Structure 1
């Protein structure tokens, strides 16, 4: 891996005097992921896919981005945040963190930031609108990681949380962190109200009433090969976004 693209390994000697076209902020959460995936699953996936995409963008169009350290503080549902070591971050906390990141980059002359969000509970749109008012010459873009490429054609069972997709992609990047032998089946109970199931209205699901093992989606058919194929397409699509942002191709 080229260290000039990733703050986890970059040193000042890599960055001094270099021009960066954009920064990428991976954003995850700290929460249980069934019995077989680490608490930091969303963070690993957001970070690793971001790094792959930044490298692809550089190799294809010579635009240079830096992947910032992943933010591990996500918004949690009731029934999940009561579980050991599940960390809930409020909207105000997340906005304060994002605002400080934007302020730092803006001061340094980097005016483009892409948030790569790996946690379904996070929502950034209102924050980004507020920042557009406070920093009119700074562009913030949000990409919700697993809304980029549909799961159909890659996985046999739909993944909502800690199922076949997340497990497969983590097996691709970090097989040493996955122990399928202890995985639950990810069975879940949907809302009884059809109007909520159909998206007519929305309220956060109570995780204690939804899932027995904290998973939603069966991980048992996961493989690293499936994860690699999916990760390649997600990172390719992300790299296209990075290139468009770097070049200013917005309107």
Structure 2
């Protein structure tokens, strides 16, 4: 990476000759994926997209020159947040098609390995479908993960709230480390949780809207967040992600002939 311009490996900041030259060395594209949805009264609705984008930039720096970063996919699967103003949701079919078009375009330009970096839990199931759909249509390798899933032990050690997972102590801590500008720190308050939230303690899929879990759109107590907690969580996930992606780059491409 050009240290005087740390965003140079982002496609949106490059000219076509710069991309043409970078692809000669790059072995994969990182595709950050988030959402446009409510995150309580104290986090901007770009939360998931911003976290995925910032994490992708950190990972791209570790992998340079082996990775290019695409523009962030800033919309995701968010129907359960639609009762909060500002949320925009995609259908699963739309997200799968969009990712297929992104991968197909970059495959035409010479890339054949793609890493989907997810910042929104609501996208998980759809990204699994996307990976299987795209890999059957194109001779490419795909890897998808929600980056916080790579830091489960660090999260368990650092997070003090009984509940977390949305506009929570964990997310605010990550943002304090990666994107503090989207936090309204003077508005941070505990989640106004409802009885139905007890179902989240079990490995079940309960189809509900998020305002049935919490009045203000938040879980847990984000007042306990800190930059130090966020750094430990993000850096743990980053180390795991770098190792996984480097192993991924060693896989042979599928034979579709």
Q: TM-score, normalised by structure 1?
A: 0.88
Which residue in 2 is equivalent to 1:112? 113
Which residue in 2 is equivalent to 1:198? 202
CA RMSD of aligned residues (A): 2.1
Cα distance in 2 for residues equivalent to 1:106 and 1:16? 13
Q: Cα 1:180–1:239, aligned 2, differ >3 Å: closer, same or farther?
A: same
Q: What is the deviation of 1:13? A: 4.8
Which residue in 1 is equivalent to 2:73? 71
Unaligned runs of 5+ in 1: none
Which residue in 1 is equivalent to 2:44? 38
Q: Deviations over 1:123-175 (max 9, x none)?
A: 2112211222111x211111112211111112222521011111011111222
Q: What is the deviation of 1:50? A: 1.1
Cα distance in 2 for residues equivalent to 1:216 and 1:208? 11
Alignment of 1:90-109 (within 5 A): 90-109=91-110
Q: Cα 1:190–1:95, aligned 2, differ >3 Å: closer, same or farther?
A: farther
Q: What is the deviation of 1:26? A: 0.5
SS in 2 for 1:69: coil
Q: Is the 8 A contact 1:111 1:139 kept in 2?
A: yes
Which residue in 2 is equivalent to 1:245? 248
Cα distance in 2 for residues equivalent to 1:197 and 1:223? 24
- Which one of the candidate residues 197, 208, 227 is aligned to 2:230? 227
Which residue in 1 is equivalent to 2:9? 5
SS in 1 for 2:121: coil
How many residues in Structure 1 have an aligned counterpart in Structure 2? 242
Q: Is the 8 A contact 2:150 2:236 kept in 1?
A: no
Q: What is the deviation of 1:205? A: 2.8
SS in 2 for 1:247: coil
Q: Is 1:166 aligned to residue 171 of structure 2?
A: yes
Unaligned runs of 5+ in 2: none
Which residue in 2 is equivalent to 1:121? 122
Q: What is the deviation of 1:193? A: 8.2
Q: Is the 8 A contact 1:4 1:66 kept in 2?
A: no
Which residue in 2 is equivalent to 1:152? 156
Cα distance in 2 for residues equivalent to 1:37 and 1:48? 16
Cα distance in 1 for residues equivalent to 2:197 and 2:77? 24
Q: What is the deviation of 1:192? A: 7.7
Q: What is the deviation of 1:3? A: 3.0
Cα distance in 2 for residues equivalent to 1:183 and 1:192? 20
Q: Is 1:52 aligned to residue 54 of structure 2?
A: no
SS in 1 for 2:89: coil
Between 1:183-192 and 1:43-52, the stretch displaced more is 183-192
Q: TM-score, normalised by structure 2?
A: 0.86
